[in-house]
Each structure stands twice: as C-alpha cells, then as structure tokens.
C-alpha cells in the first residue's frame, strides 16, 4: 500500500466508516462559493504528489480567486494531463532544475510547495528570489534555521510567505479558537491532543530523516501543537518529552515511531500530547472551569466531529482545502502582509516547539524552557 493509500485508508477509518455515514448526512454540509469576479491569482503547484493533486488542486479549482497556471514536476509523464486540462503554457511547466525560470513566468503570482518537508526551504527560497509569493505545506521546514532563512528570503524579495495551515479556515477548528478566545467554557486549563496514524509503507519519504525532518511529530503532531496555541491564544513556556518504544525497527531507524510530550503555559495550563506512526488516533480535548469541548476526529479532512458540555458542535462539514484557498485568496490579492496566524513566523513558532520536544526526548525527558 502506498503512503497516500495508507493515509487515505486511515482518514476513511477515522471519519467515514459505514457507521458514521448516516450521522454525516444528517449534519449540515456546505460548499458555499464566495462571489468574486475580479483578477484571479495564478498559482503553480510545486510537486504533483498526493496532497497537491488530490487535495489542493480541487480547492484551487473550486475557488474563484485562483487559477492553476503552472506546474513544477520531476516526472515528464505527468505533464500532458495537466497541460491539456488547464491549458498551461509551455513556459509555465518547469522541473526542479529549471525552477528558477519562474522569474520569466509573469502569469504565476504564487507557488504552492507540496514537496517532502526537507525540500520546502530550498523551493521557497528559490521562488522568493524569482519574485513569487509562496505557500508552503506544513511543517514549514525541517528545522528552525531553515524557517528563518525562508522568512528572510521572502522579506528581502518582498514576497509573502504563507504556511498551508488549512485548519485555520475550517469551521470546527475556527469554533475551537472562538471557544478559547471567548472563554465559552471558562479558562481552559488542561488540553490533551493526540494525532497519529499507522504507517504501512516502509519506503515512504516520511521515514527518511533528511526528507521528513522527523517522524509523526513533524507530520501530524504539529496539528496538536498548533491547536494548543490557537485554543490558548498563547505560547507554551516549557516542554518535556519522551520517545515511545520502537516496535518496528525496519521502519524507524531514522525518525521516531512515537513521542509523547507535555507543555506548560504561563497561566498554569497543562497540555499533554501524543503522536505516532503506529496508532490511528485523532483527538483535541480541552477542559475549562466552566465546561469542556472535545473534537474527534479533530484535524483530518473530515467529516470532523465535536461535542461540548453544552451539546454537540453543529458546524458545517466542508472541503478544507477549498475553504483554505477561499480564505487565502483575498490575503494574497491584498497589498497588506499576511495575517500572523498563517505566516512564516507562525510556522517558525511550531518548529521551535517541535525542536524543543526532540531536544527534551533525546535528553530523556529534560524540561526545556522556551524563550
Ligand atoms: P507525496 O509523496 O504524495 O508527494 C511528494 C511530491 O514530491 C511528489 O510529487 C514527488 O514526486 C515529489 N518529490 C520531489 N523530490 C522528491 C524526493 N526526493 N522524494 C520524494 N518525493 C519527491 O507527499 P504528500 O503527502 O503530497 O506531502 C507533500 C507535503 O504536503 C508534505 O510537506 C506534507 O507534510 C504535506 N501534506 C500536508 C497535508 C495537509 O493536510 N496540510 C496533508 C498531506 C501532506
């Protein structure tokens, strides 16, 4: 089974099992398209893998703000399908070697980097130097230094740098942010979040330390960290972490199989987290002094589901990437800087926390203070 099939299978199991279907159809669903007939943003997809073609591209197609005008691929056999369907100009079809020719592609305003994590920094910086705005997938890069170099290159070349944090446009997660902001359940003082999936392909790049930067923490644990920060609307002040046991050494000789961690916030809030490539799990559980809310599934493509001490979360089930592209369209059309929450600086904050988690786990659980 390929990585994509494996992830799809997990996502199906988490959210769209046969038992779940009647519930889903009973819930509110929306595909509302904003009314917009102005200038479209030309976008180029960098990498034509699973996430780019199966998730982001349908979002681009469904959003009135965007138009696919370019592709960057190392597989010539993939070109004819996209060239024909999107009427792409030859000059806007690039590969990893001639990528810098982006500077001669005036139709392309934004590139969307959907490559393995360890390639995000290089392809973001080269795009910035070619004068293109960038959206890069999460995690923003493999380490803090790469993130800082990306932020610097985009600033120097006066282009915007966004991170594909789709949950920031998704109704359940937006509602979780609102609960935190408006203290609907009082001050949240305990958060538990777990996100993991069982890997079934020992050849996937996600197990390669150089391409992935780390294991499940970099791939999906990042959602739990990002969620803790957006529910609390604050930054953790310390972390401590422990790696779980390696049960499949043939998979996990370069990246962790699982890691659990603890974060503290200045107001005394405690967060416990777990991420794994061995266990299918996906929860965000937040407890306050006036009640609680719990989402499960919380972060995958959905349908997401949530309950609270006041009753079920009645949020619309949406196509996340369409909402993301609809949300990001006006942000990239505007002359203003991107909002902080989807910016490169936001991606960098998550990376700093993940690196501290690795540092702590490597040191056997030592408490690391975050500056
Ligand atoms: P994928 O393996 O399906 O696609 C990766 C693409 O990169 C392929 O087109 C591949 O040909 C290309 N590539 C170029 N050089 C490569 C190399 N040396 N090794 C491997 N591939 C190479 O992966 P994906 O699942 O599409 O993930 C791509 C990015 O998107 C990752 O950063 C991942 O974290 C992110 N992602 C985000 C979400 C989300 O929900 N936001 C979901 C899935 C993936």
* pLDDT for the residue 12: 40
Residue ranges around ligand 1 (CB below 6 Å): 3-4, 47-52, 74, 114-117, 137-138, 164, 166, 205, 211, 219
| Mean pLDDT computed over 45-52 | 98
pLDDT for 182 equals 98
73 close to 338: Cβ distance less than 8 angstroms: no
User: pLDDT value at position 371?
Assistant: 79
Catalytic residue among 99, 223, 230, 274: 223
Mean pLDDT of 192-210: 98
Query: How far apart are the C-alpha atoms of 227 and 220, rounded to whole Å?
Result: 11
Q: Is 223 a catalytic residue?
A: yes
Residue 8 CA to ligand 1 center (angstroms) comes to: 14
> What pLDDT is attached to residue 33?
85
- How far from the centroid of its chain's Cα atoms is residue 209's Cα? 19
In terms of Cα–Cα distance, which of 244, 293, 301, 248 is closest to 273?
244
Which residues are CB-contacts of 338 (< 8 A; sequence separation ≥ 6)? 160, 161, 162, 331, 332
Query: Pocket of ligand 1, candidates 115, 166, 221: which has the most ligand atoms within 8 Å of its Cβ, to mutate?
Result: 115
Residue 311 pLDDT grade (very low, low, confident, very high; cuts 50, 70, 90)? very high
The pLDDT tens digits of the residues spanning 228-284 come to 999 999 999 999 999 999 999 999 999 999 999 999 999 999 999 999 999 999 999
Please identify, by atom number, the ligand 1 atom nearest to the C-alpha of residue 204.
2
**For residue 357, pLDDT beyond 60:** yes
Residue 297, pLDDT score: 98
pLDDT band at 22 (very low <50, low <70, confident <90, very high): very low
Choosing from 7, 47, 223, 277 the residue with most ligand 1 atoms within 8 A of its CB, the one to mutate for a pocket test is 47
Mean pLDDT of the chain: 92
Q: Exposed/middle/buried for 85, CB within 10 Å: 0-12, 13-18, 19+?
A: exposed
Nearest atom (ligand 1) to Cα of 48: 9
User: Quick count: other Cβ atoms within 10 Å of Cβ 19?
Assistant: 7
Domain ranges within the chain, ordered by starting residue: 33-163, 171-317+344-369
pLDDT of amino acid 15: 32
In the chain, pLDDT over 70 holds for what percent of residues? 91
Choice among 12-16, 152-156, 229-233 with the minimum mean pLDDT: 12-16
Band the pLDDT of 165: cuts 50, 70, 90. very high
Which pLDDT does position 24 carry in this prediction?
29
**Residue 358 burial (CB < 10 Å; 0-12/13-18/19+)?**
buried
CATH 3.30.830.10 fits 171-317+344-369, yes or no: no
Is 99 catalytic? The answer is no
Cα 75 to middle of ligand 1, angstroms: 14
Q: Measured from the CA of 205, which atom of ligand 1 is nearest?
A: 20
Q: Whose CA is nearest to atom 29 of ligand 1?
A: 114
What is the Å distance from ligand 1's center to 69 Cα? 20
Q: How would residue 29 be classed by pLDDT, with cut points 50, 70 and 90?
A: very low
Atom of ligand 1 nearest to the CA of 51: 26
Which ligand 1 atom sits closest to the C-alpha of 300?
40
**0.85 exceeded by pTM:** yes
Question: What's the CA-to-centroid distance between 311 and ligand 1, angstroms?
Answer: 38
**Ligand 1 mutation pick, 95, 114, 170, max ligand atoms within 8 A of CB:** 114
Express each pLDDT in 320-346 by its tens digit.
Answer: 999 999 999 999 999 999 999 999 999
Q: Span 108-128, mean pLDDT?
A: 98
- Higher pLDDT among residues 207 and 30, named by residue: 207
HSE, side-chain direction, 13 A CA sphere, residue 179: 31
What band does 27 get if pLDDT is binned at 50, 70 and 90?
A: very low
Q: Which fold has domain 33-163?
A: Rossmann fold (3.40.50)
Q: Which pLDDT does position 21 carry in this prediction?
A: 26
Mean pLDDT of 94-104: 98
- Identify the pLDDT of residue 23: 29
| Atom 2, ligand 1: residue with shortest CA distance | 49
pLDDT score for 189: 98
- Report which of 175, 160, 121 is spatially closest to residue 339, judged by C-alpha positions: 160
Which residue CA neighbors atom 42 of ligand 1 most closely? 51
**How confident is the model over 97-125, as a mean pLDDT?**
98
Same fold across 33-163 and 171-317+344-369: no
Q: What is the CA radius of gyration of the chain?
A: 20
Q: In the structure encoding, which two tokens stand for residue 57, read together?
A: 């591209």
């Amino acid at each position: 089974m390929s990585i994509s099939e494996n992830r799809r299978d997990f996502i199906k199991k988490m959210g769209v099992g046969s038992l779940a279907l009647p519930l889903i159809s009973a819930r509110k669903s929306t595909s509302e398209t904003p009314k917009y007939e102005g200038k479209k943003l030309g976008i180029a997809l960098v990498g034509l893998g699973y996430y780019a073609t199966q998730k982001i591209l349908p979002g681009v197609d469904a959003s009135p703000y965007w138009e696919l005008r370019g592709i960057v691929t190392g597989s010539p056999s993939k070109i004819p399908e996209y060239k024909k369907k999107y009427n792409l100009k030859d000059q806007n079809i690039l590969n990893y070697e001639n990528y810098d020719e982006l500077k001669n592609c005036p139709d392309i305003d934004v590139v969307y980097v959907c490559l393995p994590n360890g390639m995000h920094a290089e392809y973001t910086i080269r795009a910035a130097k070619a004068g293109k705005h960038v959206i890069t997938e999460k995690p923003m890069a493999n380490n803090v230094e790469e993130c800082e170099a990306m932020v610097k290159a985009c600033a120097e070349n006066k282009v915007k740098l966004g991170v594909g944090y789709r949950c920031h446009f998704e109704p359940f997660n937006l509602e979780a942010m609102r609960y935190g902001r408006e203290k609907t359940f009082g001050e949240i003082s305990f958060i538990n979040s777990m996100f993991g999936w069982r890997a079934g392909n020992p050849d996937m790049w996600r197990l390669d330390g150089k391409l992935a930067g780390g294991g499940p923490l970099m791939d999906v644990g990042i959602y739990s960290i990002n969620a803790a920060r957006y529910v609390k609307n604050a930054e953790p002040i310390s972390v401590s972490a422990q790696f779980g046991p390696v049960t499949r050494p043939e998979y996990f000789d370069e990246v962790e199989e699982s890691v659990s961690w603890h974060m503290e916030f200045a107001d005394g809030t405690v967060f416990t987290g777990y991420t794994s490539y061995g266990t299918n799990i996906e929860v965000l559980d937040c407890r306050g002094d006036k009640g609680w809310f719990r989402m499960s599934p919380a972060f995958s493509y959905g349908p997401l589901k949530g309950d609270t001490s006041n009753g079920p979360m009645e949020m619309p089930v949406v196509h996340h990437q369409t909402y993301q592209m609809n949300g990001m369209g006006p942000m990239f059309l505007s002359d203003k800087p991107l909002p902080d929450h989807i910016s490169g600086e936001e991606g960098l904050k998550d990376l700093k926390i993940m690196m501290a988690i690795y540092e702590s786990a490597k040191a056997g659980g030592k408490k690391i203070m975050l500056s």
